A and B are shown apart, each in its own frame.
Chain A
């Protein structure tokens, strides 16, 4: 029996509540609040209490999907990223940079979110940046 708790930060918004992921025999099975944390003080909202739910969820995407003729097919990362780059270039050339918007994620680190907005503003040339915590 291997039971351990891993301290982490809730991935759902910018408040930064702290929680423990309960790991039983290598599988994340639940969440416990972290009582010592100066922000969350052992409390969580409904998102924090369920922050583990997507980890092993059967609907979770594990590979890129590309839509071909209305249906998704699995693709390699190289193929997916090349397609994204080509289409971004094409849309920007045809309709201008403000035809493109970027949605970042609370599931990423601060640094990753910084990179995405930098990419939007400097590489693409738009301020259309928003965040999943506002959706």
Chain B
């Protein structure tokens, strides 16, 4: 069983106030809350007010390469580049990168342990456009992956330091 944490987005409830951007950027800085800068935020609201489009996008994974085959969407008669809604921090755009260092940003659900009020973008969104969902789920495949991960980590150590040395360490550890 694995705990799945997720922020669900209901675009129909978004009022476009961008409070989530501000509070996210304030939280993820040391010392906490000592600055505000939406371009440091791990959530951005893409909006096109002339077409009633309000889409909060949460920073996802970092990718090294720009994607190919970018799609264009037509919503309510207006064309939108897929880039607008993409959560990925990629070389082709500034979104989800620290403005000064250029390092990619990724949502961490406000880290471990999370703030008592839950992820801040959700806590500060009074209109429930963002909701925090936690649920237990069977995730067998991932368990197997984890086992693979451990095995390959040990293989790596053996390769680096030799089987003898690693076995000695493991013996010592098992006697503790």
Does chain A bind chain B?
A: no
Q: List residues of chain A with CB under 8 Å of any chain B CB.
A: none
